[in-house]
Amino acid sequence: MNKYIAEFIGTFFLVLTIGCTGIGASSGVIAPLAIGAVLMVMVFAGGHVSGAHYNPAVTLGVLIRGRLKVADVVPYIVAQLVAAATAAVAVKFLRAGIDITPIAPKIGPAQLAEFLFTFALVYVVLNAATAEGTSGNSFYGLAIGMTVMTGAFAVGDISGGAFNPAVALGISILGISTWDNLWIYLLANFAAAVVAAVVFNLINPPTQTTPIATDEKSTRKYRRRQIGAPTRESPLVSCYSKAGLASARQDHVLFCPTVDLAAMGTSEFSRFDLGCGPECFFDCLTGRR
């Protein structure tokens, strides 16, 4: 039940933001930025619980990818659609009295625009949040939010920039789009999800692993993510030290990137951390850590 609640919350705030920025808000860059940002933060908030789909097309893609149980598909989609409808009702209350002019997309261009950027979205989700080679990364939410923001900027004036059947339902309830156009989004979004998942499975080996170092002593592989959801942990990197020092010192864990010291002519250490401050940097160079 927790994952369905997480899907409801994330989808609700996504559609709420789309509605509030699309009705009565200032024109320009506000809507795409706000939509991309809210999706990003909601992905980070709910990713460890449900996988943070917030999109029936993404749910379908993750199912085909093999990272979602069949029994979860209908509850996920129901939670997303109910959340979209609820958010639309909330927007109607918040923006009461504002006249809405429905968009009038041309069928061909709108379908192509929705297909292309829904494909991009599902493809990014599968690679950033489910691939073994990127398991444990801390950027998946940013990548997903930026994809939607990019699509909204690029083709928002062509199709409305839904890329999401739940969003299509929400904007239809709000009157931003007409019910007659709903099929355009449903067909393009679900077709794109299928194609993106098939392409992902074709180009990603089933048991891919990605080491972060090339020598035997400092090589470790990313931990495999639980099916369908990002891990609870952000990726951490270690300030590796000389062989023989205490393991507690060797396992000095930091939230920062690393650089190979071998390239700098220092063979005693494999890496040091850039973000851990002058003290750690000095300790790594002098052998105190």
| Cα(6)–Cα(14) distance, integer angstroms | 12
Least confident of 42-51, 127-136, 202-211, 266-275: 266-275
- The mean per-residue pLDDT over the stretch 87-112 comes to 93
Least confident of 45-59, 105-119, 181-195, 249-263: 249-263
Instruction: Please answer whether residues 193 and 60 qualify as being in contact, where contact means their C-beta atoms are separated by less than 8 angstroms.
Output: yes
- The mean per-residue pLDDT over the stretch 2-7 comes to 96
Instruction: Please answer whether residues 131 and 143 qualify as being in contact, where contact means their C-beta atoms are separated by less than 8 angstroms.
Output: no
| Cα(145)–Cα(173) distance, integer angstroms | 24
Bigger pLDDT: 126 or 26?
A: 126
SS (H, E, C) 114-162: HHHHHHHHHHHHHHHHCCHHHCCCCCHHHHHHHHHHHHHHHHHHHHCCC
Task: Work out whether the CA dihedral 171, 173, 177, 181 comes out positive or negative.
Answer: positive
Going from N- to C-terminal start, the domains of the chain cover 2-203, 237-286
pLDDT value, residue 124 = 97
CATH of 2-203, one of 1.20.1080.10, 2.40.30.10, 1.10.3720.10, 3.30.360.10: 1.20.1080.10
pLDDT value, residue 163 = 97
pLDDT classification of 99: cutoffs 50, 70, 90? confident
213-239 pLDDT, tens digit each: 334 444 344 334 433 444 444 333 333
Res. 100: pLDDT tops 60: yes
- The mean per-residue pLDDT over the stretch 52-80 comes to 96
- The mean per-residue pLDDT over the stretch 191-208 comes to 89
pLDDT value, residue 257 = 43
pLDDT value, residue 56 = 98
